[in-house]
């Protein structure tokens, strides 16, 4: 078994914008005459889609809203995000080591995809402004699936889309590596049968180490050759 694809989370792995998302969600709550609670957004929302996040935050306050109203809240938050980044003239906060890692993976003919709770318009905006769009063969965004992480739906769909794009690859989940920064994301990938690299951008190293197959402090700490050897050994040991 070879490593054929790497599936990246987006917020907290590609772009360092988790604090911005928290700020925008707080603004949504305030606009709904609701008081943000310290640490609540981090606990409820990290690694999950905006829709799931807002639905649960409102439910925690006894507010049950219709799908259409929830869609409007998600749209409002997305518009605020896009406005901020459209106006931003300086370099976007892409995590150090990302571009070098992408180069190393592409040079080994490893396919790349994004599996995220962020909506597609936010992902495409960032990828376009950073010239990273050309490197990713598939995107599964939070507004394209019904079940947010920690459900495995997004990862399973990413494997399906890569197989549609590269029909001769016959890609299996066990031939992929997910890169995640949250427990919800790690759980989603593992439920899909995908090994996980945890990167300590959002949670401490020791917390991710308990759950992920590999853990690094920074993306540039990932030694691809070591990971590839593990994939090869796993295949060899499973061969009769």
Question: What span, in angstroms and rounded, lies between the C-alpha atoms of 115 and 65?
Answer: 27
Q: What is the pLDDT of residue 57?
A: 95
Quote the domain boundaries for residue 212: 5-16+92-238
Q: What is the pLDDT of residue 47?
A: 87
In this prediction, what percent of the chain has a pLDDT beyond 70?
96
Q: Looking at the structure, do residues 101 and 68 belong to the same domain, yes or no?
A: no
Q: Looking at the structure, do residues 34 and 58 belong to the same domain, yes or no?
A: yes
Domain of 67, CATH number, reads 1.10.150
In this prediction, what percent of the chain has a pLDDT beyond 90?
75
DSSP state of 135: G
Q: Looking at the structure, do residues 189 and 122 belong to the same domain, yes or no?
A: yes
Is residue 114's pLDDT more than 90? yes
Domain of 111, CATH number, reads 3.40.50.1000
Last residue of a domain, one of 87, 110, 144: 87
Tens of pLDDT, residue by residue over 182-236, are 999 999 999 999 999 999 999 999 999 999 999 999 999 999 988 888 887 765 5
pLDDT tier, 166 (very low <50, low <70, confident <90, very high otherwise):
very high
Q: Residue 197: which of 233, 171, 230, 162 has the closest Cα?
A: 230
Q: Looking at the structure, do residues 75 and 115 belong to the same domain, yes or no?
A: no
Q: Looking at the structure, do residues 115 and 226 belong to the same domain, yes or no?
A: yes
Is residue 240's pLDDT more than 50? no
Q: Looking at the structure, do residues 79 and 123 belong to the same domain, yes or no?
A: no
Last residue of a domain, one of 53, 68, 87: 87
Q: Once rounded to an integer, what is the mean pLDDT over residues 153-179?
A: 96
Is residue 39's pLDDT more than 50? yes
Length of the chain: 240
Last residue of a domain, one of 48, 69, 87: 87
Q: Looking at the structure, do residues 72 and 96 belong to the same domain, yes or no?
A: no
Q: What is the pLDDT of residue 55?
A: 94
Q: Looking at the structure, do residues 124 and 166 belong to the same domain, yes or no?
A: yes
19-58: burial string, b at 16+ Cβ within 10 Å, e else: ebbbebbbebbeeeeeebeeebbeebbbbbbbbbbbbebb
Q: Looking at the structure, do residues 31 and 58 belong to the same domain, yes or no?
A: yes
Q: Once rounded to an integer, what is the mean pLDDT over residues 136-160?
A: 95
Q: Looking at the structure, do residues 96 and 148 belong to the same domain, yes or no?
A: yes
| Count of the separate structural domains present in the chain | 2
Q: Once rounded to an integer, what is the mean pLDDT over residues 137-165?
A: 95
pLDDT tier, 86 (very low <50, low <70, confident <90, very high otherwise):
confident
DSSP state of 139: E
Residue 137 C-alpha from the chain's centroid: 15
pTM of the model: 0.89
Q: Residue 175: which of 155, 149, 153, 193 has the closest Cα?
A: 193
Is residue 238's pLDDT more than 50? no
Q: Looking at the structure, do residues 43 and 96 belong to the same domain, yes or no?
A: no
Mean pLDDT of the chain: 91
């Amino acid at each position: 078994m070879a490593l054929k694809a790497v599936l990246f989370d987006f917020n907290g792995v590609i772009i360092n914008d988790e604090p911005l998302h928290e700020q925008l969600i707080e603004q949504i709550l305030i606009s709904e005459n609701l008081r943000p609670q310290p640490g609540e957004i981090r606990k409820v929302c990290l690694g999950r889609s905006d829709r799931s996040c807002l639905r649960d935050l409102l439910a925690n306050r006894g507010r049950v809203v219709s799908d259409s109203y929830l869609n409007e809240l998600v749209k409002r938050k997305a518009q605020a995000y896009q406005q901020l980044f459209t106006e931003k003239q300086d370099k976007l906060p892409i995590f150090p080591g990302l571009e070098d890692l992408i180069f190393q993976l592409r040079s080994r003919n490893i396919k790349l995809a994004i599996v995220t709770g962020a909506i597609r318009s936010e992902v495409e905006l960032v990828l376009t402004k950073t010239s990273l769009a050309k490197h990713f063969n598939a995107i599964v965004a939070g507004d394209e699936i019904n079940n947010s992480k920690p459900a495995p739906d997004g990862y399973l769909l990413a494997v399906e889309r890569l197989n549609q794009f590269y029909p001769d690859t016959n890609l299996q989940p066990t031939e992929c590596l997910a890169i995640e920064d949250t427990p919800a994301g790690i759980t989603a990938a593992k439920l899909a049968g995908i090994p996980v690299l945890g990167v300590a951008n959002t949670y401490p190293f020791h917390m991710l180490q308990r759950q992920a197959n590999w853990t690094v402090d920074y993306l540039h700490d990932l030694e691809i050759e070591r990971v590839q050897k593990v994939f090869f050994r796993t295949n060899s040991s499973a061969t009769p």
